[in-house]
Structure 1
Amino acid sequence: MQLSRARRAGRRGARRYTTRDLAVLGVLLGIPILIDVVIIWGPTLASVALSFTDWDGITELEWVGADNYRSLVSSYPPFWPAVRNNLLWLLFLGLVATPFGLLLAVLIDRGVRFSRFYQSTLYMPVVLSLAIVGFIAQLVFSRDQGALNAILANQDHPVDWIGDPDLNIWVILLAAGWRHVGYVMILYLAGLKSVDPNLKEAAALDGAGERQTFLRVVFPVLRPVNVIVGVITVIEGLRAFDIVYAVNKGRNGLELLSVLVTDNIIGEASRIGFGSAIATVLLVVSLGFIVTYLVQEFRGEKRR
């Protein structure tokens, strides 16, 4: 008797999808997947394929194999400076701007006076595009009419903050970091608000100080936020384009891989195959950083 009831309950629990249900599921899942394939993966795979060709967008495709990659690393002068600048960008955001954003989030979370004002002020740059940040950087760091040289009273011998290739990358990194700090601060602030206060109280009862409580209790709890911030930092560091293009079109010390892609594909040369090779290098580097970081984070999560 009980066995028959269990079988009937099992039959009732196993729902059969109608044609209408399958159609709705197909639309809800199929359309986003189709859009993702068409807009993201389609162009990505096409770019990888084009990187092995010599094509200007008009004449017939010519298969050249790995010649584009060989030329890229051996006879294309802007490539290695662009790689260096992208790595500097990534290191600066990861080791300077991101920890500073975390520090600001911790300070605001403690309830300092005027915390709402600080939070709004520090987040304000995030609503600006990097192109606008680049224009602001020009107003501040311009050689002849910049605010910084006016404050320093360097009218006779003004410092060319943007034109000097030994200085401009650091100046632009400060401008980009100014925007990145606010973004990181908001993410960590949201994570800190969700930390269970009982964990802090338990750590305090065990004799842990504020520093030990944060490093051994609070920060491990923020692991999901750390993953998000890490991925965002890598993406921001490797896809940077608009701020340097707004300043000097990504030249004279501000070369980036994204700028080289644009110059070769959209520029007068129209070297679509060569530009696609640079884009593929940028894709591989981006995926390498992101996948490695995520694997390490997930392994750490499983060990816990």
Structure 2
Amino acid sequence: MSLTSARRAKRRGPRRFTRRDLVVLGVLLGIPVLLDIAIVWGPTLASIVLSFTSWDGIGSIHWVGTQNYTNLFTNYPPFWPAVRHNLMWLGFLGLIATPFGLLLAVVIDRGVRFSRFYQSTIYMPVVLSLAIVGFIAQLVFSRDQGVLNAVLGNKDNPTDWLGDPNLNIWMILIAAAWRHTGYVMILYLAGLKAVDPTLKEAASIDGANERQIFFRVVFPTLRPVNVIVGVITVIESLRAFDIVYAVNHGRNGLEVLSVLVTDNIIGEASRIGFGSAIAVVLLAVSMGFVVTYLVQEIRGEKNR
């Protein structure tokens, strides 16, 4: 090494940030952090505090301790049906819509004819909001002018798909799954494209059939995608609001926790403290599912 090169190497060291660099980093990192605190964590912490109070949004705030939670669990009839409906959302999306999206992704990944057309068509509902999906569900499942009753020919005694409390939750779940399936399909398609083909070839040479290759080779490599899909499914199930509110304001068999929060906070009662207690319960349940799932996946990743 020449003397000049040695001097240059000596001059090189840890680069020190200038005042301009610090300002740029502060702006680029500080603004998103401040927005996150103001929009997400600020209201979250405020809801937790308000859940222990009685407040109508105008008058003074009165501390009531755990009274809101006691009334919620023991003296609020819509609560437990809403919990049951949210669990039904989770089970339907997790056990039916998600596996169906995975199946569609596997079929399209094999290169069937018109795969681009199928992919675009199945993904199209994802660009729609759940409120729009709710309006579409009304057009399909309406009692008097719905497409389904017209196809079935039920003119004399039409089925009230959205008015019957024993049926409407399943119709809404089908509509929500229609949107959720396309989302899951795209995620798994991206994961399948990243699978090393040599792994499948090696398994095939060892005598494994297609089913064994998928469950023993392909599916384990999709662990990161499984984590994302699992978290998204839980969040979609527990934050369900738009579609049920668009159909019948979340009543008559479509009660979910998010609707109860809205009815109590911005409804005629204006029970902000009580509505905040419902929101905290929904937050705790959501975080419980997500954190448990992520911890299990991280432990599984470390044990590999």
- Normalising by structure 1, we get a TM-score of 0.96
What's the CA shift for 1:74? Answer: 0.6
Partner residue of 1:133? 133
Alignment map for 1:82-101 (pairs within 5 Å): 82-101=82-101
Q: Distance in 2 between matches of 1:185 and 1:248?
A: 30
What's the CA shift for 1:22? Answer: 1.6
Q: Distance in 1 between matches of 2:131 and 2:290?
A: 25
1:39-84: CA deviations, max 9, x gaps? Answer: 1000000011000000000000000000000000111110000000
Letter of the 1:204 counterpart: S
Partner residue of 2:54? 54
Letter of the 1:174 counterpart: I
What's the CA shift for 1:122? Answer: 0.5
- 1:177 counterpart = 2:170: no
- Determine helix, strand or coil for the equivalent of 1:28: helix
- 1:153 counterpart = 2:146: no
Partner residue of 2:69? 69
What's the CA shift for 1:156? Answer: 1.3
What's the CA shift for 1:142? Answer: 0.8
Letter of the 2:92 counterpart: F
Alignment map for 1:182-261 (pairs within 5 Å): 182-261=182-261
Partner residue of 1:44? 44
Q: Distance in 1 between matches of 2:223 and 2:127?
A: 26
Partner residue of 2:106? 106
- Determine helix, strand or coil for the equivalent of 2:12: helix
What's the CA shift for 1:11? Answer: 7.1
Change (3 A) 1:254 1:6: farther
Q: Distance in 2 between matches of 1:185 and 1:16?
A: 46
Q: CA RMSD in A?
A: 1.5
- Determine helix, strand or coil for the equivalent of 1:13: coil
What's the CA shift for 1:14? Answer: 2.1
Q: Distance in 2 between matches of 1:178 and 1:61?
A: 44
Change (3 A) 1:80 1:10: farther
What's the CA shift for 1:194? Answer: 1.2
Q: Which runs of 5+ in 2 are unaligned?
A: none
What's the CA shift for 1:12? Answer: 3.0
What's the CA shift for 1:16? Answer: 2.0
- Determine helix, strand or coil for the equivalent of 2:280: helix
Change (3 A) 1:9 1:65: farther
Letter of the 2:19 counterpart: T
Partner residue of 1:266? 266
Partner residue of 2:116? 116
What's the CA shift for 1:146? Answer: 0.9
What's the CA shift for 1:26? Answer: 1.2
What's the CA shift for 1:7? Answer: 12
Letter of the 1:20 counterpart: R
- 1:302 counterpart = 2:302: yes
Q: Distance in 2 between matches of 1:47 and 1:34?
A: 18
What's the CA shift for 1:163? Answer: 0.4
Q: Distance in 2 between matches of 1:6 and 1:215?
A: 57
Q: Distance in 2 between matches of 1:256 and 1:133?
A: 17
Give the percent of matched residue pairs that are identical in Structure 1 and Structure 2.
80
